[in-house]
A and B are shown apart, each in its own frame.
Chain A
Amino acid sequence: MSNTQARVPLKARKVSFSWDGTPLHWVPEDPFTTHTINVLHLLLPAGERWFVHVYKQVLPYIRDERLREDVIGFIGQEAMHSQAHDEVLPHLREQGLDPTPYTAQVDWFFEKLLGDRTLPPGRARRWWLMERVALIAAIEHYTAFLGNWVLNADELDRRGADPTMLDLLRWHGAEEVEHRSVAFELFMHVDGSYRRRVRTWATAFSALVFLWQRGARFFMENDPTLIDGKASFKDFHVRGRRGLLPTAGDMLRSIPRYLSRDYHPSQEGDTEQAVAYLAASPAATAAEKRAA
């Protein structure tokens, strides 16, 4: 895990998943773990669409051909992540858990609050574009963290979690690990200010914690099979110790790493492991075959 890891050319994979056989509680008998991870399906369709939207606008600021190629590959991967998670939502609705009240808010959050017109045109708008590029770099620190976690979350397999859902999460996680340096390198290339890095980290972290706990509570309270569904921090702590969710300790320890002046995403996660998963993932190999 050093800076010398080989550079992988990034390309979008045209995956598709069939959700017909996936039960509502795809981690058997553990609605809390299921729904805490399900929050991804609430945040990512709008969130990753927003990444693509912002990055399309930043292309003219890139003066480095290699970075531009990476960003173009990154955009396609993020677009596919957004589509793949989006396709889970109708499946949840069919099972009696309509996510629309929540996703409509997430749509507002990314399309309006974090949209293009939040600030007036001119210098303010350029500032806003750079602020959003920095926000994406901070979020990508966490997506790489989660990607690395899910690639190693063997406990989910031992509990008999649904293989299709695990493949979605690990295909996505592996691509996040694969492209984890792009967002940070782009931010350093077009701006790189340390104050901005700290400020946007604080915003992104608070927003993620706020949206995630809210999403988990939303799912638990609206799950048609639970009579008095509640989500609590204690549940989270217990699942973390069992290896079913990331631990709070690991998450806290990742904070100073991002804020360190020596930070580079290549120090996190393992490209080889990610590439190996992608070479074996049912969805990614099927995509490979279709493309051939």
Chain B
Amino acid sequence: MPRLRTVALVAGAALLARGALRRRIQVSPLWPMPALEEPTSGRPRSRALRLLVTSRETVAEGVVRLRLEGRDLPRWEPGAHLDLVLPSGLVRQYSLCGDPEDTSSYTVATRLVEDGRGGSREVHEQVTEGTELEVRGPRNRFPLVEAESYVFVAGGIGITPLLPMLRSLPEHAEWRLLYAGRDRASMPFLEEVEKLGRDRVTVVEGRPDLDALEVREGAAVYCCGPEGLMASVAARFPDVRLERFAARTPAGGTSDFQVELRRSGRTLTVPADSTVLAAVRRELPDTAYSCEQGFCGTCQQRVLEGEIDHRDELLTDEERADSMLICVSRARSDRLVLDM
């Protein structure tokens, strides 16, 4: 009966193995697959929210402040901004100027720009209490760094991203603010700013004298305001951190710029009326893409050098640091270097 013995042995071994396997699974139900150390799926992304405008008030000449209410809103750090999708579909960015700890509302302020691109006019004319707005973000590309001392330069409505920074600095922190505007009536949040420390705040009507600004070694310089002010601050303090909302070129238009494809060793020009993707595809026809509207993420490419003008609705801040969607995003600098 040697065959019977073999069968009995195999069956016995199989039973034992099955029992062992079951016990193993009972101890750790997800055995035996390893896990990815930094999981990719299920990471919270900034998603679109629909918020209700619950208050709209004029806080200075030509400046309205909106309070948008929701619940369990994502927290933010001083310097962060929101993307507001206006009723017409225009998307505009506004700095958050409320309390970062408040998870039930966001506050933004906007100045009416008569000859602007239409965004501020729409806010001023069409957004009222009770309007529902789609909001994306918050995102921060203007973070407050640790420094020995701080110098802030604000021009008019440019005070908005700086205000939460000033409030968040510890009592003993050393800081100065130069706040310039056309005249006091047109400068928002003036009273609150002056309350933060009269001796630290200089209010100027008209053009500020930057030479009088004392900037010590190791100080962090922040500036937000009209293009002219930011340009002169940048000329004097090359390390300045700037927050820029309007595109560098006027009236929604774009300019041409150079793109270097480092791995393929080619340089091409992206004309003002074309996209990076279209220009790249002429050189590399097998470049992957799909939606061409900045939401599917297929055309994401790594950026090695240059300043990116992100115009997509998908990437996280982390991804934005060194990559872009080439179907919609462009350059803030004259040249971009892509890893392709």
Q: Is A76 an interface residue (CB 8 A)?
A: yes
Q: How far is the CB of A55 from chain B (nearest CB, A)?
A: 8
Q: Is B289 an interface residue (CB 8 A)?
A: yes
Q: Identify the stretch in A79-87, A132-140, A163-171 within 8 Å (CB) of chain B at 4 or more residues.
A: A79-87
Q: Is the CB of B41 within 8 A of A103?
A: yes
One digit per residue, 1 when the CB lies within 8 angstroms of any chain A CB and 0 when it does not, for chain B 17-54 equals: 00000000000011001111001111111011010000
Q: Is B2 an interface residue (CB 8 A)?
A: no
Q: Is A244 an interface residue (CB 8 A)?
A: no
B42: chain A residues within 8 A (beta carbon): 45, 86, 89-90, 93, 99-100, 103
Contact of A107 among B40, B47, B89, B314 (CB under 8 A): B40
Q: Is A102 an interface residue (CB 8 A)?
A: yes
Q: Is the CB of A218 within 8 A of B30?
A: yes
Q: Is B295 an interface residue (CB 8 A)?
A: yes
Q: How far is the CB of A71 from chain B (nearest CB, A)?
A: 9
Chain B interface residue number, banded? 20 to 34
Q: Is A101 an interface residue (CB 8 A)?
A: yes
Q: Is the CB of B40 within 8 A of A49?
A: yes
Q: Is the CB of A12 within 8 A of B296?
A: yes
Q: Identify the stretch in A32-40, A108-116, A119-127, A246-254 within 8 Å (CB) of chain B at 4 or more residues.
A: A108-116
Contact of A12 among B29, B47, B290 (CB under 8 A): B290
B288: chain A residues within 8 A (beta carbon): 55-56, 59, 72, 75
Interface centre among B39, B44, B289, B314 (most CB of A within 10 A): B39
Contact A104 B298, CB 8 Å, known A72-B290, A79-B290, A290-B89:
no
Which of chain B's residues has its CB closest to A111's CB? B36
Q: Is B291 an interface residue (CB 8 A)?
A: yes
Q: Is B293 an interface residue (CB 8 A)?
A: yes
One digit per residue, 1 when the CB lies within 8 angstroms of any chain A CB and 0 when it does not, for chain B 79-90 equals: 000000000010
Contact of B295 among A12, A52, A99, A106 (CB under 8 A): A12
Cα distance A56–B289 in the bound complex, in angstroms: 8
One digit per residue, 1 when the CB lies within 8 angstroms of any chain B CB and 0 when it does not, for chain A 41-80 equals: 0100110010010011001100000000000110111011
Q: Is A105 an interface residue (CB 8 A)?
A: yes
Cα distance A12–B298 in the bound complex, in angstroms: 11
A214: chain B residues within 8 A (beta carbon): 30
Contact A76 B296, CB 8 Å, known A87-B45, A103-B41:
yes
B36: chain A residues within 8 A (beta carbon): 104-105, 107-108, 111-112
Q: Summarize B's interface: helix, strand, loop or mixed.
A: loop
Cα distance A291–B89 in the bound complex, in angstroms: 10
A290: chain B residues within 8 A (beta carbon): 89
Q: How far is the CB of B138 from chain A (nearest CB, A)?
A: 17
B286: chain A residues within 8 A (beta carbon): 59-60
B40: chain A residues within 8 A (beta carbon): 45-46, 49, 107, 111
Q: Is the CB of A107 within 8 A of B30?
A: no
Cα distance A100–B295 in the bound complex, in angstroms: 25
Q: Is B297 an interface residue (CB 8 A)?
A: yes
A217: chain B residues within 8 A (beta carbon): 29
Which of chain A's residues has its CB closest to B295's CB? A14
One digit per residue, 1 when the CB lies within 8 angstroms of any chain A CB and 0 when it does not, for chain B 280-294 equals: 000000101111010
A108: chain B residues within 8 A (beta carbon): 33-36
Q: Is the CB of A16 within 8 A of B48?
A: yes
B30: chain A residues within 8 A (beta carbon): 101-102, 105, 214, 218
Contact A103 B39, CB 8 Å, known A16-B48, A76-B298, A80-B296:
yes
Q: How far is the CB of A263 from chain B (nearest CB, A)?
A: 27
Q: How far is the CB of A67 from chain B (nearest CB, A)?
A: 14
Q: Is the CB of B35 within 8 A of A107?
A: yes
Q: Is A264 an interface residue (CB 8 A)?
A: no
Q: Is the CB of A100 within 8 A of B29?
A: no
Interface centre among A11, A59, A72, A76 (most CB of B within 10 A): A76
A191: chain B residues within 8 A (beta carbon): none
Contact A11 B291, CB 8 Å, known A16-B48, A46-B40:
yes
A105: chain B residues within 8 A (beta carbon): 30, 33-36
A45: chain B residues within 8 A (beta carbon): 40-42
B298: chain A residues within 8 A (beta carbon): 52, 56, 75-76, 79
Q: Is A221 an interface residue (CB 8 A)?
A: yes
Contact A72 B289, CB 8 Å, known A14-B295, A108-B36:
yes
Q: Is the CB of B39 within 8 A of A76?
A: no
Q: How far is the CB of B39 from chain A (nearest CB, A)?
A: 4
Q: Is the CB of B35 within 8 A of A14?
A: no
In the complex, besides A16-B47, A46-B41, 6 extra interface pairs with C-beta distance below 8 angstroms are A49-B40, A72-B290, A75-B288, A83-B297, A89-B41, A107-B35
25 contacts between A and B (CB under 8 A): A12-B291, A14-B293, A16-B47, A45-B41, A46-B41, A55-B288, A59-B288, A72-B290, A76-B290, A77-B290, A79-B290, A79-B296, A80-B295, A80-B296, A100-B39, A101-B30, A103-B41, A104-B35, A104-B39, A105-B33, A105-B35, A108-B33, A108-B34, A108-B35, A108-B36
For the complex of A and B, 8 pairs with smallest distance between CB atoms: A76-B290, A89-B42, A104-B35, A56-B288, A107-B36, A104-B39, A45-B41, A108-B36
